A and B are shown apart, each in its own frame.
Chain A
Amino acid sequence: MIELKNVSRRFGDTVAVDGVNLTIETGEVCVLVGSSGCGKSTTLRMINRLLPHSAGEILVDGEDITTMNPEQLRLNMGYVIQGTGLFPHWTVARNIAMVPRLLNWPRERIDARVDELMTLLDLDPSAHANKYPQQLSGGQAQRVGVARALAADPNILLMDEPFGALDAITRENLQLEMLRIQKQVRKTTVFVTHDIDEALKLATRIAVMDQGRIIQHDTPENILRHPASDFVENLIGKQDRGLKLMSLRPVRDLMANHTEPRQSEPGEHVLREEDSIRLALSVMLWQDLRQVAVFNAQGQETGVITRERIIQEGV
């Protein structure tokens, strides 16, 4: 758990972060979102003490971070940044092994861990372990960055616009990857982005920041339904809210289940239970259908979702 109590940060006369109160529960993904210069990165960098805070208190698992050794504090916090910050003179494997080596893990344990993480992030160890960062694509490099942050199994993950420099397709893939990994490892995550869609997709709770203050701290659904101010309303896009809300809910919520799963030919682009209602609607509009079959992860047809129901209850 991370608690920020009345935390401020001043650079000279300018106040970058102004009396922020924020509690991030264990295992939750808190996304700090706002335009550039709103203090979100500064807030993140105060949590691992890359920047000292000027006032207030930051507690990690109940302990004041200023009483802790900064290196010890950071070793227990994975850190992923926009430019990846991979070490160009080290191989991918050595990059991932960085924190375990600092912690003096035995060699075999490090090797096993590097293999495990590369597999987790969908990087083939035999193909990539001995490459250098400059030989990787942007998406691969950021996967390595995430693997490096997870290497010593820290309790906390800090991510500072990690996917900001990637193209749209790669970014989307990595976001899905993030969701999948987060399900497995359940790290307390603080994620900074300026992209509200990214925030809505990844967050369990979103903290909207403006001019160094937190304007609203709530679940994605509540942010969309009850924006606290005009600023938040503009950020989420006033008119676009209906579809954004639909993209938060899985098809599972509104489908009519069959009594038992049926075997049938799923075809190429099938709708799955965990896909969003927005996607279901889009499929129906495009193919001009009244309803679509829904499949589970094993490829069995488990139910149908109708256009009518989405229109009535989707939002």
Chain B
Amino acid sequence: MASTTYEPYEGAKLERLERDAAAATARYPDPRSALLPLLHLVQSEDGYVSPDGIAFCARTLALSTAEVSAVATFYTQYKRHPNGEYTVGVCTNTLCAVMGGDAIYDELSEHLGVGHDETTEDGKVTLERVECNAACDYAPVMMVNWEFFDNQTPDSAKQVVDRLRAGEQVAPTRGASSVCSFKAMSRVLAGFHDGRADEGVGAGEPTLVGRRLAREQGWEAPSQSSAGAADGGPSAAGQDAPVAPEAGGEQSSVDTPSAPPSGGTSDTTTGRDASKET
């Protein structure tokens, strides 16, 4: 099925990739599920999704190179040209942008002399605007090779990139004890453990703020042994089964079951009342 007889890699590199690819495909009932890990693996070798890498994935999974490219170009983490040693991403989605992310991005862009998805001449830093990275309570957030740098300012961000470019070890706020290279990161994302899970903290201050307040105030969830005895809660005794919301009901776009399997067509109402929103 592969559209080319071109042999993408050779020697020790080919052997290594074939061994790793076999380990990745073995994790899934269907080998094609390993395509995303394999593309991360290619980036761990080549620093981007190279033409060789696309051919390798195609050959490994008996796909055409067009099929592999179609997938590779869909996801923003797959780079189409050689990436810097560090991807520095500043969140400029609304919350972080308003809290200062726009200013941090502008400052870094000028400081580094590069724009979005461009790499410094020394090959060290690829700057990106990134979307929400699920750390809004630490805004403004910057990611370096997808490790968290929380509560940034233009100055702190500049210091981080300066140190990275000087070859220093730089520790994220929440993550491993130092940021690894883009290639090393890509290997982890391909599912190959680097043994660093136990490094770093379990949580930062905002993660713990509610937990600590509860301890200070002596607040606990009701005791599991005195179930149902808590004040104010509805007693389950004699209660009807929970009421299912209307099929295809109100929902956001994450984790979205639109309707139970019995229903739902192109005509199914979304359950949302636009008039309530205007």
Do A and B come from the same complex? no
Which B residues have a C-beta under 8 Å from some C-beta of A? none
Which A residues have a C-beta under 8 Å from some C-beta of B? none
